[in-house]
Structure 1
């Protein structure tokens, strides 16, 4: 994508403090900060999420319809899991500091911290990463559709998903 940027404009942004733009906060050890074109207008076709997790916390299953994602481990350790839509195989990769996992655009995936103080950097090839979250799919798909499609008991589905909160981002809730 090409966009015009007037690099002589006084509104041109060359720096930004990512710590000042939380996307989601579960608690003081589990949160995500965001940097995209809305925060720094010179970024063009790149954005990132700065992810902090304690042991056994998960960035909920989701996919990015507009971007691939490169997950870089800064500290701690994480398992990055993705569903290959061509083989229907669940792939899981254990990454530690200095290691990366690549998630192609549109692939269902999630990250689980395996130790405390895990710090991940998710880098996207889009100015703003769009996301479809598993919690939203579970919560907003009508229960009668789940019953009809999968022969599930509608009331059991409602009960099972009653505690799911939309936009969970980091679980367990």
Structure 2
């Protein structure tokens, strides 16, 4: 199969610094760089997201409508969770440096960092990674449709999703109140193992492994 790329053109690019291509940034420890055909015009059916996360940060639930995703852990540790549309079950895969998890095209999934300084590559078999985010689905679907379809109270639904920020990408938001229950002061191992709604990290991520020194998250 022939290529449409003119490899003799002076505008043809063969190298690129991904560090200079920030896609989204939550803070200095949680951000995503992107490499696609817009950044490097000799790419064919490959692109990637260069992702940095601190412990307990989440690449929000989403799916890629145009590509499968291969998640490669460079440093730290994370759990890749996906919903198998055939078994209707959530599957959780903890990975550490040198290990990978594969997400088929169009499958609902998310990633949770279980250590600070987690670095991963998300590699796609498409020249541009496209995505549909859970936060956008929640905010853009009319509340009246959600309420009618699932027999919900429209007012309660609107109140429940009011704090959701469209295109969150990396959660929880920096403004999220992470205060734990009052008994945390009596149990140092309890700190930062609950989210703002009282869910344990084990409930959110069955393979979560606590690291008690992460106090700045």
**More strand as a share of residues:** 1
Task: Give secondary structure in 2 for the equivalent of 1:112.
Answer: strand
Query: How much does 1:70 deviate?
Result: 0.1
Segments of structure 2 that go 5 or more residues without pairing to the other structure are: 174-217
Note closer, same or farther for the CA distance 1:51–1:14 as it changes in structure 2 (3 Å cut).
same
Task: Give secondary structure in 2 for the equivalent of 1:55.
Answer: coil
1:74-153 aligned within 5 A: 74-153=74-153
- Name which one, 1 or 2, has greater alpha-carbon Rg: 2
* Counterpart Cα distance in 2 of 1:65 and 1:3: 24
1:70–1:102 contact (8 Å) kept in structure 2? yes
1:2–1:44 contact (8 Å) kept in structure 2? no
1:18–1:34 contact (8 Å) kept in structure 2? yes
1:30-45 aligned within 5 A: 30-45=30-45
Q: Does residue 20 of the first structure (1) align with residue 20 of the second (2)?
A: yes
Query: How much does 1:3 deviate?
Result: 4.5
What is the CA deviation profile of residues 76-99 of structure 1, one whole-angstrom value per residue up to 9, with x for unaligned ones?
000000000111110000000000
Q: Which residue of 2 aligns with 1:10?
A: 10
* Regions of 4+ moved over 2 Å: none
Structure having greater relative contact order (Cα 8 Å, sep ≥ 6): 1
Q: Which residue of 1 aligns with 2:183?
A: none
What is the CA deviation profile of residues 47-104 of structure 1, one whole-angstrom value per residue up to 9, with x for unaligned ones?
0000000000000000000000000000000000000011111000000000000000
1:59–1:111 contact (8 Å) kept in structure 2? yes
Relative to the length of structure 1, the TM-score reads 0.98
Segments of structure 1 that go 5 or more residues without pairing to the other structure are: none
* Counterpart Cα distance in 2 of 1:2 and 1:58: 40
